[in-house]
Amino acid sequence: MIAVLVCEYLPPSSAGPPTGFQTIGVVLLGALFVVSLAAIFLGRATRREGIAWALVWFCAAVAIIRPELTVRVAKALGIGRGADLVLYCSVVAMMAGFMMMYVRLRRLQRELTLVVRHLALRETSFEANPETGVAGANQRE
């Protein structure tokens, strides 16, 4: 929706009327844009996350509406085609996302290990014989 309004201020497209893919793509990306903003207001995402996702959906909508813009940017960066630029950006974004998820997973594993270790030590101290102070001394053989 917003992408359509912004694209009115861009130079006119020589492609003609929007195709079915462009229409469906912009509608879906517009919905994702609204969901990203709603997530901020509902507290399901931080402001930074919500704005970052909204920006991704907006840029994707602009690229769908005006594919010649990706060609211009690609040529300015020394890349032959706009589709290659989109592919390279997607690969870099996915690799960054995978790295962030890996770091988060490792941190969660460390935290879980600390919690389990703490619980194991706590459980062991509860099993200690209060008279001798030795763990497991009150177990029957």
pLDDT bin (cut points 50, 70, 90) of residue 139 is low
Q: What's the pLDDT at 68?
A: 93
pTM of the predicted protein model: 0.66
Taking only the tens place, the pLDDT of each residue in 89-108 is: 999 999 999 999 999 999 99
Nearest to 89 by CA among 123, 119, 55: 55
Type of residue numbered 38: A
Q: Cα(133)–Cα(129) distance, rounded to whole angstroms?
A: 5
DSSP 44: S
Angle at 64 between CA 76 and CA 31, to 5 degrees: 130
Taking only the tens place, the pLDDT of each residue in 10-57 is: 555 566 788 899 999 999 999 999 999 999 999 999 999 999 999 999
Taking only the tens place, the pLDDT of each residue in 119-136 is: 998 888 766 655 665 655
